[in-house]
Amino acid sequence: IPHANNEGGRVTGDGMEVPDYGQYKDRDWPDTAKGQAAMISRMDADVGRLAALLRELKLDRKTLIVFTSDNGPHSEGGHKHEFFDANGPLRGFKRDLYEGGIRVPTIAWWPGVVKAGSTCAEPLAFWDFLPTACELAGAKAPDDIDGISFVNALRGEKQRRHDHLFWRYAKKTAVREGMWKAVRVDPAKPTELYDLGKDPGERKDLARERPEIVKRMEGLMAAALE
């Protein structure tokens, strides 16, 4: 799995777990970028072989493959996330609660259920995977969880939405309600407010313009932290 992490670096030196840089060896790139590209290409080929085997065994219509990431890009292990413009217009990266740290793509493959080329703009979260797996397995999800099954989204049907989403990392907190996103990078600092519909890069802080929304979002943060 492409991950220029410190654990891999203990074995490989640079964290790039590939035997060589393959088709990228002659590119005028840093070695870490060559390694990342080689890992991604290898993984892509491996997933392709897995999908082909599922088709051969006639299990493809009974199998859901989901590919995603647990965080945005980072600059660990000598890797520079700016090299491939990994974040695009998003602000922040791994360990930030701005969109660049927590908004990640998700790809679902399930022939006969997930329509090829379809997209879903509904915000989902990792805590939605448990109830989704339970529904697909015909099992009852626990009552004391925050997740919502996204089976309907996979099927292209109307998806139930979260009232709001909450994140916490160290002293940082963030909450999203609809297109409004509040971020507090430190308890001692003021809450920032962004309209993700108009400003997905979180460049314009609207906290002073919309204090009533800030107050509501801070209430959601406080409730989540109780």
Q: Which of 93, 94, 90, 78 is nearest to 34 (CA)?
A: 78
* 209 within domain boundaries: yes
* Residue 64 CB-half CA count within 13 A: 17
**Share above pLDDT 70 across residues of the chain, in percent, rounded to a whole number:** 92
Say how far apart CA 58 and CA 139 lie, in whole Å. 24
**pLDDT for residue 52 is more than 90:** yes
**pLDDT for residue 136 is more than 60:** yes
> Token match 């493809």: residue?
60
Q: Provide the residue range defining the domain that includes 200.
A: 163-226
* 73 within domain boundaries: no
User: What 3-state DSSP class applies to 109?
Assistant: strand
> Token match 């932290």: residue?
225
Say how far apart CA 5 and CA 92 lie, in whole Å. 18
* pTM (predicted TM-score): 0.89
* 167 within domain boundaries: yes
Check if the beta carbon of residue 217 is closer than 8 Å to that of residue 177.
yes
pLDDT of the residue at 14: 58
* 178 within domain boundaries: yes
Mean pLDDT of the region 144-169? 96
* 177 within domain boundaries: yes
**pLDDT for residue 4 is more than 70:** no
* 143 within domain boundaries: no
DSSP 8-state assignment for residue 141: P
203: CATH = 3.30.1120.10
For the stretch 113-122, pLDDT in tens is: 999 999 998 8
pLDDT of the residue at 79: 75
pLDDT of the residue at 31: 87
Amino acid at 216: R
Query: With bands split at pLDDT 50, 70 and 90, how would you rate the model's confidence at 176?
Result: very high
* 191 within domain boundaries: yes
Residues 6+ apart with CB under 8 A from 82: none
For the stretch 13-35, pLDDT in tens is: 556 677 888 999 999 999 888 98
